[in-house]
Amino acid sequence: MKKMLSRNRLWCNGIRVAVQVCLVMLVVAGTMGASKPVRKSRKAAAPKPKPDVSSICIEAGTGLVIMEENADKQRPPASMVKMIQLLLVSEGLKAGKWTLETRIKVTPKAAAIGGTGIGLKETEEFPLGRMMQAVAVCSANDAAMAVAETLWGDEKTYLETANKRALELDMKNTKFNSVHGLPPVPGGEFDASTARDMARLAQFCVLDPAILGWTSQKELQFRPADPVRKNTNRLLETMAECDGLKTGFINSAGFCLTATAVRDGIRLISVVMGTTSNSNRFAESQKALEAAFGQVTKKRVVAKGAPVGDPVPVANCETPAISLTAADDLWVVVKQDDADKLEVAPQYPALIQAPLAAGAPVGRLNVQLAGKLLGTVALTAPVTLKEADLRWKLLNSLAMPRK
């Protein structure tokens, strides 16, 4: 019995050892045959989509485009619509329709306007000049509505005037549906414009010192008891040459800015629409303006009094021919790379008839780049051309060869 138990124990131990040996062999074989651990490949992070921004930078005088991106995409301009009011009011001032002292009454509609404002109350009255400061500096919706309703009678008439003027300015992709740029009521339409059209509007705004006076004002205390409000255009604080123009923001528009600056006698206008943050619109605008200033130059094409073109024959005068001269210096702003590509095209008659006073315009000198007119100056007679007397005419006729 003891021998049988001993045999069974030995048999079990043998099986156990055999199993262990097999396991060891399997592990060793697996280790030898296994490939190196395969690392899961990490896909490169997809680049963040570029914000859907519209932008343009132009030279203010001619509209020469220095840089642009999505400039013709139609989108809400938000409070930048107030630039058309700045222009319409300034044009009315020049036409004598109203003065800066014209009293602007706060209507119930103006007092109830939401968004950015200066807390106007119904029945209050303020001078037009003060209200325009509030529109330009604070982007005050209530002030803009009060001005529109007082000067044009109602919002509808104001908008008709604004859209008519936009068409006259060749703002082909712009439709003003509000005075202030706020989102419409349900069922209404957003204001619509493009970066190119806003730049076009700004070209006319910067021609008026009154508008630049309003938009360059860094702060405003509307009433004696009111807090001092900083201009919504913070580019005035970070770029010394900046003197306007107008900010805008609603959710559907993003952060927008039309800005202008002057450096070395060159005025530029930049527009950004649809940026993602308040700080970003100012950073992008300043970046665009700085880059554009680095790309352009101001070149004098002709000096005042300089002769232009070939001498022009003069009929009925003892002076046989004259060289026309430029009435003034002609400067143009052009990209540095295009400075040698300017086309100078004088236009004047083949024959001048006496008498003619010195300084009288006879022709023009046009400067173009790729067919776009950049500048023009009058060509004038440098001296007075008197009509010849009878004796000279007789002698001259005798001297003429007969056919």
What average pLDDT score do residues 231-237 get? 97
| Model confidence, pTM | 0.82
Average pLDDT along the chain: 88
Please give the residue range of the domain that contains residue 326.
300-399
Residue range 346-356, pLDDT digits in tens: 999 999 999 99
Q: What is the pLDDT of residue 82?
A: 98
Q: Do 225 and 370 sit in the same domain of this protein? A: no
Please check the confidence at residue 340 and state whether its pLDDT lies above 80.
Answer: yes
Q: Do 85 and 200 sit in the same domain of this protein? A: yes
Q: Do 214 and 315 sit in the same domain of this protein? A: no
Q: What is the pLDDT of residue 4?
A: 45
List of E strands, 22-96: 54-59, 65-69
Q: Do 81 and 124 sit in the same domain of this protein? A: yes
Q: Do 284 and 310 sit in the same domain of this protein? A: no
Q: Do 107 and 240 sit in the same domain of this protein? A: yes
**Ranges 23-37, 43-57, 59-73, 339-353: which has the least confidence:** 23-37
User: With contact defined as beta carbons under 8 Å apart, do 294 and 266 qualify?
Assistant: no
Query: H helices of 139-277, where?
Result: 141-152, 155-168, 195-205, 209-215, 235-238
- Backbone dihedral region of 48: left (phi > 0), alpha (psi from -120 to 50 degrees) or beta? beta
Domain membership of residue 312 (yes or no) is yes
Q: How confident is the model at residue 29 (pLDDT cuts 50, 70, 90)?
A: very low
CA–CA distance from 359 to each of 84, 300, 398 (Å)? 39, 21, 32
How far apart (Å, rounded) are the C-alpha atoms in residues 258 and 281?
10
Q: Do 220 and 72 sit in the same domain of this protein? A: yes
Residue range 106-134, pLDDT digits in tens: 999 999 999 999 999 999 999 999 999 99
Q: Do 279 and 305 sit in the same domain of this protein? A: no
Q: What is the pLDDT of residue 134?
A: 98
> Which residue do the tokens 């009454």 mark?
105
Q: What is the pLDDT of residue 30?
A: 45
Q: Do 254 and 111 sit in the same domain of this protein? A: yes
Q: Do 223 and 259 sit in the same domain of this protein? A: yes
User: With contact defined as beta carbons under 8 Å apart, do 306 and 323 qualify?
Assistant: no
Read off the CATH number of the domain in which 307 is found. 2.60.410.10
In the listed set 276, 294, 312, which residue is the last one of a domain according to the structure?
Answer: 294
Domain membership of residue 192 (yes or no) is yes
Residue range 178-217, pLDDT digits in tens: 999 999 999 999 999 999 999 999 999 999 999 999 999 9
